């Protein structure tokens, strides 16, 4: 009976924290989509205050007492059951949170709001020097956080674990290197191919209103529920769940770039479908939460790439696209368009990179941020190190920092350890998709008819509904019967692109 009471109290307290966290998220959404620049200072105070309040509630002594009482109770006996999952995950979360001083949590929240604003200014003015002092402070604070959290080998382990529980720097490093070795021959073969798509098709004039309505219609067709979500414009596309029944996705538009806005929507809709697929009955508890950023990213990348860059997908949607953009697309055959959205070439901008070279952008960021956190690379040397790695891995050198080291918001926002989850997401996506195709039969025939529900329901059942019952590694093993591997991604890329580029 005692246990039941402790468990009930723990759940009430945890759901109260979730209420507050969604207020934080709403402020974050507003900051990225609506807030005028002059609002940043006050918003930073609000963010710091709320972060402190959340931290206080998460580390309250009674939480520790309830968890101790429950640790060896029958409620904790089944580690992947409902109550066992809640107790196990909250215990892990609690152990981490109590190690972080509240003052550090508040300072990081404040600096993150300032950092995002300053990053945006610095990028607009192509002025890394303006951003540098804040970034130095951010790196120092993140290192402090890593020291407080503790780590097995390198301080970066502690930061990575925040986003991908159970992953280590050494594992990620190995996976990314193996992936790179497998990608290099394909990238080389594609670069040498005489058969290249005409990408100028995608930079014709695409009126923004039509981009928005086509994007919304496609997102709704694959299963993003607009009665429980909405789409806004931002500088750096993202998705944020503000509670059951309210999932926000964002994109950016350029009237001479079809792919940026469209694939931004598709990507974020994939994240949104995951959020909307979580178990509402368990809202606010680990059983109703996403597992990790890597698994989250697998859902966005799967809809963006495995589905949204496939020929069957465009066989269904291309007539709609031609109707939306008659001037740009009336004279363009389906295969020319399909080739253009699958153009592979080394490029400067991660978010616009094709699915073959994308992971090399991640490898660069991963190596640089590990070096920053391990104090091997001074922030002042970062732009030069960035440019050198782009030359080394992709054979391109940014002409300026705005399209180089200043292109991503992450470091200004304090998101160290986040980038590798993008590459992990690509690997999980390929592995899940291969399994779904095996379980569901002819997915291509489904897509050709605009049928996306079978795939979406498969993902809901296998990936969304379990919440945090399993770690990312366990989830992959359970769903596919195999540990995480780069083999499915490499084989999908080889099959698709060798055909598209006329290689054997």
Chain positions contacting Zn ion, by CB under 5 A: 297, 300
- Judge whether 414 and 111 are in contact, CB under 8 Å: yes
Nearer to Zn ion, 260 or 297 (CB): 297
Nearer to Zn ion, 96 or 271 (CB): 271
- Judge whether 266 and 303 are in contact, CB under 8 Å: yes
Nearest-approach distance from CB 293 to Zn ion, in angstroms: 8
Nearest-approach distance from CB 165 to Zn ion, in angstroms: 18
Tokens read off for 81? 């059951």
Which H or E run contains 352? none
Nearest-approach distance from CB 409 to Zn ion, in angstroms: 13
- Judge whether 348 and 390 are in contact, CB under 8 Å: yes
Nearer to Zn ion, 358 or 393 (CB): 358
Q: Could you tell me the sign of the dihedral formed by the alpha carbons of 431, 467, 420, 425, in that order? A: positive
Nearest-approach distance from CB 327 to Zn ion, in angstroms: 31
Nearest-approach distance from CB 421 to Zn ion, in angstroms: 9
Paired residues of 231 in beta bridges: 249
Nearest-approach distance from CB 413 to Zn ion, in angstroms: 14
Please tell me the distance from the alpha carbon of residue 416 to that of residue 431, in angstroms, as a whole number.
26
Paired residues of 247 in beta bridges: 229, 241
Q: Could you tell me the sign of the dihedral formed by the alpha carbons of 431, 481, 89, 16, in that order? A: positive
Nearest-approach distance from CB 233 to Zn ion, in angstroms: 17
- Judge whether 415 and 128 are in contact, CB under 8 Å: no
How big is the chain, counted in residues?
Answer: 504
Strand 247-251 relative to strand 239-241, pairing: antiparallel
Nearer to Zn ion, 300 or 305 (CB): 300
Nearer to Zn ion, 114 or 300 (CB): 300
Nearest-approach distance from CB 130 to Zn ion, in angstroms: 27
Per DSSP, the residues of 126-173 read: T-HHHHHHHHHHHHHHHHHHHHHH--SS-HHHHHHHHHSTT--HHHHH
DSSP character for 133?
Answer: H
Please tell me the distance from the alpha carbon of residue 282 to that of residue 331, in angstroms, as a whole number.
51
Please tell me the distance from the alpha carbon of residue 449 to that of residue 440, in angstroms, as a whole number.
15
DSSP character for 73?
Answer: S
Nearest-approach distance from CB 297 to Zn ion, in angstroms: 5
Tokens read off for 216? 């919304």
Residue with the shortest CB distance to Zn ion: 300
Q: What is the dihedral of CA 426, 427, 428, 434, to 10 degrees?
A: 100
Region of residue 166 (left: phi > 0; alpha: psi -120 to 50; beta: else): left
- Judge whether 347 and 353 are in contact, CB under 8 Å: yes
- Judge whether 228 and 276 are in contact, CB under 8 Å: yes
- The helix/strand/coil state of 383 is helix
Nearest-approach distance from CB 241 to Zn ion, in angstroms: 13
| Catalytic positions, written as ranges | 268
Paired residues of 257 in beta bridges: 254
Nearer to Zn ion, 287 or 300 (CB): 300
Please tell me the distance from the alpha carbon of residue 168 to that of residue 150, in angstroms, as a whole number.
13
Please tell me the distance from the alpha carbon of residue 326 to that of residue 424, in angstroms, as a whole number.
38
Please tell me the distance from the alpha carbon of residue 169 to that of residue 265, in angstroms, as a whole number.
31
Residue 498: other Cβ atoms inside 10 A? 15
Nearer to Zn ion, 163 or 316 (CB): 163
- Judge whether 194 and 427 are in contact, CB under 8 Å: no
- Judge whether 302 and 270 are in contact, CB under 8 Å: yes
């Amino acid at each position: 009976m005692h246990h039941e009471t402790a468990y009930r109290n723990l759940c009430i307290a945890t759901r109260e924290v979730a209420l507050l966290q969604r207020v934080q998220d709403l402020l974050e959404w507003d900051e990225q989509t609506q807030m005028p620049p002059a609002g940043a200072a006050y918003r930073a105070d609000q963010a710091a205050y709320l972060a402190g309040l959340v931290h206080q509630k998460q580390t309250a002594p009674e939480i520790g007492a309830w968890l101790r009482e429950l640790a060896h109770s029958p409620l904790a006996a089944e580690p992947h059951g409902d109550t066992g999952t809640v107790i196990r995950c909250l215990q892990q979360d609690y152990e981490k949170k109590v190690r972080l001083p509240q003052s550090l949590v508040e300072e990081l929240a404040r600096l993150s709001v300032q950092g995002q604003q300053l990053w945006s200014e610095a990028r607009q003015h192509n002025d890394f020097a303006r951003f540098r002092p804040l970034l130095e402070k951010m790196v120092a604070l993140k290192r402090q956080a890593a020291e407080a959290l503790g780590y097995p080998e390198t301080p970066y382990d502690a930061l990575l674990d925040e986003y991908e529980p159970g992953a280590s720097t050494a594992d990620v490093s190995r996976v990314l290197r193996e992936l790179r070795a497998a990608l290099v021959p394909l990238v080389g073969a594609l670069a040498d191919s005489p058969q290249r798509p005409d990408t100028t098709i995608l930079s014709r004039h695409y009126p923004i209103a039509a981009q928005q309505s086509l994007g919304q219609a496609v997102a709704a067709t694959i299963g993003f529920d607009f009665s429980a979500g909405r789409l806004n414009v931002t500088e750096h596309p993202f998705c944020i769940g503000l509670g059951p029944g309210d999932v926000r996705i964002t994109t950016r538009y350029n009237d001479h770039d079809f792919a940026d806005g469209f694939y931004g929507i598709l990507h974020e809709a994939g994240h949104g479908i995951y959020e909307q697929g979580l178990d509402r009955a368990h809202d606010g508890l680990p059983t109703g939460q996403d597992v990790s950023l890597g698994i989250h990213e697998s859902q966005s990348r799967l809809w963006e790439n495995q589905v949204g860059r496939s020929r069957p997908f465009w066989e269904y949607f291309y007539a709609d696209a031609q109707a939306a953009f008659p001037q740009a697309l009336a004279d363009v055959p389906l295969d020319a368009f399909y080739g253009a959205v699958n153009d592979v070439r080394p490029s400067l901008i991660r978010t616009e990179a094709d699915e073959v070279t994308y992971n090399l952008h991640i490898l660069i960021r991963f190596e640089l941020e590990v070096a920053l956190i391990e104090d091997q690379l001074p922030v002042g040397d970062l732009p030069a190190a960035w440019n050198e790695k782009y030359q080394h891995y992709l054979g391109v050198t940014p002409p300026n920092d705005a399209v180089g080291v200043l292109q991503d918001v992450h470091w200004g926002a304090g998101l160290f350890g986040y980038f590798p989850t993008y590459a992990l997401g690509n690997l999980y996506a390929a592995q899940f998709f291969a399994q779904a195709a095996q379980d569901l039969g002819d997915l291509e025939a489904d897509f050709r008819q605009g049928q996306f529900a079978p795939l979406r329901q498969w993902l809901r059942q296998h990936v969304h509904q379990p919440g945090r019952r399993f770690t990312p590694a366990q989830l992959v093993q359970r769903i596919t019967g195999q540990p995480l591997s780069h083999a499915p991604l490499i084989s999908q890329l080889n099959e698709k692109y060798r055909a598209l580029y006329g290689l054997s």
